Chains A and B, each alone.
Chain A
Amino acid sequence: MRVTEKNRFSEATMQRTRAAAQLQKKAQVAASGNRVNLPSDDAYGFSVGKAATDRIEILTARTGAAQNAQSDLELGESTLASATDLLQKAKELAVQGRNGTMDAAARASLGSQVDSIRSSLLALANTRGASGYLFGGTATQTPPFSATGAFVGNDTAVDVALSDNVTVRGNGSGAQAFTAAGGTDIFADLANLAAALGTNNVAGIDAGIAKLDAGHAQVVGARVTAGLAAERLGTGIDVMAEARASLTARRAQAVEADPVTAYSDLAEANAAYERALAVTKQILSVNSSGNG
């Protein structure tokens, strides 16, 4: 084939352009750390990476919601633990008041202490967490229990998603812990007990002790439920962390570049570019000497 000057220069220019384009591509991979920066780099890899990124985003959001709920549930559990202590103390006062040697004045004093315990329990039942009142259901902005002990909240669950199909109740149930919905109305029971002690009503005291036992079991049950939910959330958070790690690895495999390969490819592309420049220089030199 006859070779003209334009043939030589066109070939050299084309090789240099290709080498420069390849060098730019390899430099982009090495600098970004990603093998796939655009869908056209590898449509399948891009889709896999995008799906993994989306999933990680979902899991991160669920983890955040679960951690907030877990925090409130743990606070609720410890609040209910305090509530059981108060009920235990109330029962001790009731048993003390049941003693036949005690006179009416001493029982009235015990009744005042029970009333004080009721007030403390009411304060506990109106405890606020990060998302509002812990035991008001979804009525999170108003105290769920009035001064009289009447429940003005609701028992609506705030579900927290741990996976696509699994949700866990993320709020404690004040209704189940303290009201007749759970078996007995604890605030009414304490009010009745205080009244029985105040009126020297032994039969009423006996009935109050029985109610306190039921109430204690009720609060313990609610505490266990809250504790289990917090534990399930904790387990779910751990599972989601593992899933995130796995997805991060999958995303890395799909879109990220192996650093050693990336730098090796960059060095190779750089060498190819330098060779192309050397060839161009050689062509210029041949033409220069040929013309001289």
Chain B
Amino acid sequence: MGGLSGMLSVARDGIMAQSAALDTTGQNVANVNTPGYAKRTAVLASRAQPGSAGGVDVVTFARDAAGLASRRLYGEAGKSGAADARAVALATIESMVSPQSGGISDRTSAFFSSLTALSADGNSTAARATVLARATDLAASFADTAASLTSERATQLDSARSIVADVNASLASIAKFNGQIAGAEASGTPANDLRDARDVLVRSVADATGAHVVEGANGQMTLFAAGTALVSGNTSRPLSVDLDPQGNMRVLVANPGGAPSDVTSHVTEGKLGGLREARDVDIPKVQAGLDQLAFDIATQVNSVHSAGVGQDGLGGRNLFAAPAGVAGAAYSMKIDPAVGSDPTTLAAAATVADLPGGGSVALALSKIATTQLGAAPGNPGERIAAWLGSVGTMASSANDEATLRSGTVATAESSFESQRGVSLDEEMVNLTRFQRAFEASTRILHAADELLGNLIKEL
């Protein structure tokens, strides 16, 4: 169809297409801060009209999924989530084992120093009371630190359960969106808003557990995490967390109609992976070091103390309750009931004949501070410093890793956002561009109208 009628048709198409493009620009500007929003583009194409000038059609409203950048972002988010969670956990642990004052190191020094004072005056009531107070402080310091570490593991288990609850909710929603997206797109309706919402959820799962996604031809996304597919089509497999017989965190994934699978060893990414490593690898290492120190100090002090006699003339007493073994030695460290709260039971003298002022056993006890403790090299102070140093190194490495990962995730985020985010500058240019085109189409309409008017007058 040609002539004035065709001209009117072209003007109409132009007005409608530019209007749609202006709508899209407005939508982009309105959603510039909407989480997960990917910029839309009105895709225009000329419409061929046999025998006359062609019009224009809005073919589709394209949404840039930034597929490659999004996969990279999800991967980096998983690694960053793990590094960040571990760094936070280790910073907490470091502050527990190395307070500014009154920590195990300070109390060990104070204990041995009090023994030096007692060695020079075995009969001093004040010196005896001080030694007993310092020994009580030292035992409490070990026990409190061990209890704090145990409590931190419990806290991390709670955090893991909370993360898993959020992940399960997200997985269920992703599966639901999968079904809605496939249904909408099969009927030819764009599902851009549904995809935006699904991407936000995938990102949250990536932060929590790491996520790798594959999108099928029907728009449905398969989400892999913890070494298995957690969302496939419109079904999801929830995770759960419990403890194995050793007290370590166990992550299970539900199997429809079957027993859940243990995927713990695959949980290495995301906050869950970082928490698991901090809880079941890092803290046990710190606890093992603490237990060994407590065991060695208690054992070595007891072996010397039990060789001496208290002011009541009785010997063979331990100062610290004898640990049953290395494991749990810190948590159970306390003053032996035979000594209790009675400073006169402290064995400062070697024999009854040396009473009451003898201090040779107290001197030998004080010398433990400068002799090798247990089988490992180093005196007590050096062993404690090495233990604290190992915690510090772990915390420092974890922090460096978190900083590095936050940089890489920021780069990935920037690349992702660069591809699909809204640029107001760009939208302002588009606004002008589409506005001008709209105005021009209107002019064509006016021109056609005038021509038609003139023609009608002539008739």
Contacts and interface: CB of A to CB of B under 8 A. Distances in A.
B363 A159 contact: yes
A261 interface: no
A50 interface: yes
A61 interface: yes
B116 interface: yes
Interface stretch (B258-266, B351-359, B446-454): B351-359
Interface in B382-407: 382, 384-386, 388-393, 395-396, 399
B414 to A, nearest CB: 6
B119 A160 contact: yes
Interface string A192-221: 000000000000000000000000000000
Nearest to B110: A57
A10 B418 contact: no
A287 interface: yes
Contacts of B105: 50, 53-54
A132 B123 contact: yes
Contact of B120 (A47, A51, A68, A290): A68
A160 B413 CA distance: 67
Interface residues of A, number: 55
Contacts of A138: 122, 349, 353-359
Interface in A38-78: 38-41, 43-44, 46-47, 50-51, 53-55, 57-58, 60-62, 64-66, 68-69
Interface stretch (B1-9, B237-245, B421-429): B421-429
A103 interface: no
Interface residues of B, number: 65
Given A131-B124, A154-B354, A14 B116 contact: no
B410 A50 contact: no
A65 B118 CA distance: 8
B393 A47 contact: no
Given A51-B381, A132-B357, A167-B363, A46 B388 contact: yes
Contacts of B235: none
B457 to A, nearest CB: 47
A44 B396 CA distance: 12
A141 interface: yes
B117 interface: yes
Contacts of B386: 47
A7 B414 contact: yes
A275 B428 CA distance: 29
B414 A39 contact: no
A58 B395 CA distance: 30
Interface in B82-115: 91, 94-95, 98, 100, 105, 108-110, 112-114
A38 B381 CA distance: 16
Given A132-B123, A140-B123, A39 B393 contact: yes
Given A38-B98, A154-B353, A58 B389 contact: no
A287 B424 CA distance: 8
A160 B421 contact: no
A7 B411 CA distance: 10
B117 A158 contact: no
Given A4-B422, A10-B410, A14-B410, 14 more contacts: A3-B418, A39-B94, A39-B98, A39-B392, A39-B395, A40-B396, A40-B399, A53-B109, A57-B110, A131-B124, A132-B121, A138-B359, A140-B121, A159-B119
In the A-B complex, the 3 residue pairs with the smallest Cβ-Cβ separation, listed nearest first, are A39-B392, A54-B381, A140-B357
